[in-house]
Chains A and B, each alone.
Chain A
Amino acid sequence: MIVQAIQLFFTPEVLIACIIGVIGGITVGALPGLSASMAVALLIPITFKMSPAAGLVLLVSVYTAAIYGGSITAVLIHTPGTPSSAATALDGYEMTKKGKGLKAIGIVTIASMLGGTFSALALLFIAPKLAQISLKFTSLEYFFIAVFGLTIIGSLAGKSMVKGLMSGMFGLLVGCIGLDIMNGTPRFTMGIINLESGISLVPAMIGMFSISQVLISVEEIRKGKTRILDEGVSGLQGKMIPTKAEFLKIFPTILRSSVIGTIVGILPGAGSDIGSWVSYNNAKQFSRTPEEFGNGSMEGIAAAEAANNAVTGGALIPLLTLGIPGSGVTAIMLGGLMIKGLVPGHKLFTESGNITYAIIIGFLVANILMGIIGLLIAKQVVKVSVVPMTILCPIIIGLSTVGAYAINNSIFDIYIMIVGGIIGYFMRKIGFATAPIILGLILGPLAEQNFRQSLVLSRGNMFGYFLSRPISIFLAVLVIISLFSPIIMKTFSKNTTESTPADTAKI
């Protein structure tokens, strides 16, 4: 069957679909607002006319490539193309400012490729077994995952923990806007119907990251700084491919992040954005140099990138084996599968096995192809960081506005973007980080919904219900460790070696 699948993959139609999917996906991903889910949704009608294998290979290739493409702009111009790349912007942009944009892109590309390939192999060899994980997690487990993700706010806080927590709380508060999930009552919508489904994440994120960055850049232009690069940095420097020592440093992170990403992907309802944050948090806790995180850490970039691409393969696992989508994008793909008469389930791997395996092989090849194309174009795209800011800023504003509008075809979302940009600008001016707001906005609703669901599922005995679920207990312990690990680490490192004082000049 595998042989048949390989033969099917190497038919011209499928191969071309794979290549177009990768190139198109990188492009769409790099444009802010035009996210992976949108690209896949718009492509589904186009696949009607294609053979099942070609159509689905196109969709999976676009999916993984868009998640990668979004990171390029996150690194170079602090504009995450998709929400999955927000974590990458933190360290990637710092590297770009230091003139090391090429190396940052190199790490993004290698980590994305390895993470995606890892998940593709998991999908190819052990999908049915892994799919069972998705059924072990219920509302209570998701609640703890969301809380675990929220503990990262501490490590995103920058100089002041209090300010970081305030940002996070603000994000959680903004996340409360919209219809109450339990009884449909509008909360803080002030009668505005567009607010009923909550503050849209993508416009808010574009505002907080891109628009606020443009405003800061405009200010710097007036002060005489014309390029993204920091003063004193003469030009682009460094090689794209990391040195052996650097690679050895980031490789364990990539491996760990690939596993985390794949598992988060398998879980229904948790996508690339959550995967990248959880993995970033984890990498910081394991790192020997956690003080570099937020100041241009290669480990930070590698963690976020390996994880967000590993989510893509992970998310396909329950989709294909159980018909339960592992992420928002795969939920859209489900329709594309069904229309082709490919009904998810074990029959997909037996009766129409050659098509299914051709799709999986296509996904594997797409991840590798994405890496190759990424490395080939890296030297060219990185030149963006030496383009004068007077040219770059209007372009970013234009693309961001198009993106904010396009996600829901809504002018209202452009207002959200502008308000987000202004709030983000002033917060950054007075030393508040914006990343915790986005994190609160992503994870707050997830935590609330799942906590309230588990209250019902516990049938009135919450504590007993918690004790009867070992995975929940494990995750709760993780949350506690994550909260107190900085203190534990501090006492631990005092006993061994005196660590160098952290460079906290940046936010």
Chain B
Amino acid sequence: MSLKRLLSLVVVLSMVALISLTGCGSKPDSVTDATPEAIKYPTKPIILYVGYSAGGSSDLLCRILAAKMESYIGQPITVVNKTGGGGWVAWSEMIRSVKPDGYTFSLINTPNYPLGKYDTANPREYSYDALDVLVNHVTDYNVIAVRNDDERFKDFKSFVEYAKNNEVIAGSSATGIMSDDGTIIDILNKDLGTKITIVQTAGAKDNETLLLNKSADILIGNVSDVFTGKNNEDFNVLSVFSPERIGLMSDVPTAKELGFGEIYGNSSRGYAIPKGVDSQIREILVDALDKTINDPEVIKQLEDMGAETEYIEGDAYIKFLEDGIRRAKGVYGIE
């Protein structure tokens, strides 16, 4: 028995064990019937790639979607976590080696996916159109929050005044263009003349902890990050950086209505497939996504986690992504 054969046996065994573990019964990469005329789709479970580890907010979103989508598309959706590279392990694989047969689709996150190409420290080769982008699911707008008992900042105006003359510290989990939080901080420093210093952290939860333990002065994050803290009256959310007030926090004013101009920022999550998927299959998939995302039960589950559903499809979604890219490029002066 050659070592190679043994190894491949072991690998196959591991795949089988994994599949039985995640509760789906057929092989993920088996060859599909090559009959393009009669579309019978889907005839086997569909795989959903998540570029982040199990249990995180991206993963949870996909697992909620997967649980419900089965009833609309008729086959189980298996969530597979392909972690690493800030999501790019999953996306690179989607672009390079996943077969465009409609049996694998992927979560895509902004800003990581569309702006990866413009990352100065570690640029990626692909722009957003390397995949066929389908629909947006949730948009998580940026907010600024402080501790509820912090006497220095009562509202956004008093914060800006303070921060013009004093250094304030905020946590952020990525830098510059690759971070929606970091980008907002750069906009505030540039346009409003604030002096905000960034502490790099490993994730949104760390930023929240830094604020609570008084290491950081402010938290610039997303609605979902401050949702719990606001409900517990630990955080005072000063402003939201969105075009209009948002449903989950309708009492929080936008920066625009406070007279600070169009400062917008968000992190959003949507779905994409490899290019070249049959148009009928694509339509079935988009239809199922539409029904699942707009299912009241799913909307409610996400609201409980602090995530606001914003369904966008087709050209409007492409425009949404392009707007985001243009805005970020503008901030950093990228051509």
Give the B-binding residues of A (Cβ under 8 A): 34, 37-38, 40-42, 44-45, 48, 134-139, 179-186, 193-194, 196-197, 268-269, 322-325, 331-333, 335, 338-341, 343-347, 397-398, 401-402, 405-406, 408-411, 414, 449, 452-453, 456-457, 459
Cα–Cα, bound, A131→B242 (Å): 34
Cα–Cα, bound, A44→B175 (Å): 31
Q: Which residues of A contact B213 (CB under 8 A)?
A: 134-138
User: Closest Cβ of chain B: how far from A345's Cβ, in Å?
Assistant: 4
Cβ contact within 8 Å between A335 and B122: no
Cβ contact within 8 Å between B167 and A139: no
7 shortest interchain CB distances as A-B pairs = A332-B55, A41-B54, A345-B232, A184-B121, A402-B14, A41-B55, A335-B60
Q: Which residues of B contact A402 (CB under 8 A)?
A: 13-14, 17-18
Write out, one digit per residue, whether chain B residues 229-260 have a CB within 8 A of any chain A CB (1) or not (0).
10110100000000000000000000000000
Contact of A269 among B18, B55, B206 (CB under 8 A): B206
Give the residue name and chain of the B residue nearest to A138 (CB). B215
How many contacts between A and B, using CB within 8 angstroms?
177
User: Closest Cβ of chain A: how far from B10's Cβ, in Å?
Assistant: 5
User: Closest Cβ of chain A: how far from B223's Cβ, in Å?
Assistant: 13
Cα–Cα, bound, A73→B304 (Å): 39
State whether A42 and B232 are in contact (beta carbons under 8 Å apart), knowing that A138-B215, A414-B11, A457-B169 are contacts in the complex.
no
Write out, one digit per residue, whether chain B residues 304-322 have a CB within 8 A of any chain A CB (1) or not (0).
1110000000000000000
Write out, one digit per residue, whether chain B residues 105-139 have a CB within 8 A of any chain A CB (1) or not (0).
00000000000000101100000000000000000
Any chain A CB within 8 A of the CB of B75?
A: no
State whether A44 and B232 are in contact (beta carbons under 8 Å apart), knowing that A37-B55, A405-B11, A453-B199 are contacts in the complex.
no
Write out, one digit per residue, whether chain B residues 153-186 have a CB within 8 A of any chain A CB (1) or not (0).
0000000000000010100001100100000000
Cβ contact within 8 Å between A332 and B54: yes
Cβ contact within 8 Å between B81 and A408: yes
Cα–Cα, bound, A335→B302 (Å): 10
Cα–Cα, bound, A186→B214 (Å): 31
Cβ contact within 8 Å between B55 and A346: no
Give the residue name and chain of the B residue nearest to A179 (CB). B122
Cβ contact within 8 Å between B175 and A197: no
Cβ contact within 8 Å between B205 and A411: no
Cβ contact within 8 Å between B21 and A42: yes
Cβ contact within 8 Å between B212 and A398: no
Contact of A185 among B57, B121, B201, B209 (CB under 8 A): B121
Write out, one digit per residue, whether chain B residues 75-103 have a CB within 8 A of any chain A CB (1) or not (0).
00000111111101100100000000000
Instruction: Find residues 190-209 in chain B having any chain A CB closer than 8 Å to their own CB.
Output: 197-202, 205-206, 208-209
Give the residue name and chain of the A residue nearest to B13 (CB). A398
Q: Which residues of B contact A341 (CB under 8 A)?
A: 304
Any chain A CB within 8 A of the CB of B39?
A: no
State whether A339 and B22 are in contact (beta carbons under 8 Å apart), knowing that A45-B66, A184-B121 are contacts in the complex.
no
Cβ contact within 8 Å between B121 and A193: no
Cα–Cα, bound, A215→B53 (Å): 31
Q: Can you list 7 A-B contacts (CB < 8 A)?
A: A45-B64, A182-B200, A194-B89, A196-B89, A322-B212, A341-B304, A401-B13
Cβ contact within 8 Å between A339 and B64: yes
Cβ contact within 8 Å between B84 and A197: yes
Cα–Cα, bound, A269→B198 (Å): 20
A-B contact sample (16 more), CB < 8 A, given A322-B234, A340-B304, A456-B200: A37-B54, A41-B53, A42-B22, A179-B122, A181-B200, A184-B174, A184-B178, A269-B206, A333-B55, A343-B231, A345-B228, A411-B11, A449-B202, A453-B200, A456-B198, A456-B199
Q: Which residues of B contact A333 (CB under 8 A)?
A: 55
Cα–Cα, bound, A398→B14 (Å): 8
Cα–Cα, bound, A459→B169 (Å): 9
Any chain A CB within 8 A of the CB of B140?
A: no
Q: Which residues of A contact B119 (CB under 8 A)?
A: 184
Q: Which residues of B contact A343 (CB under 8 A)?
A: 228, 231-232
Contact of A335 among B17, B55, B83 (CB under 8 A): B55
Q: Which residues of B contact A44 (CB under 8 A)?
A: 55, 60, 63
State whether A138 and B212 are in contact (beta carbons under 8 Å apart), knowing that A184-B174, A408-B83 are contacts in the complex.
no
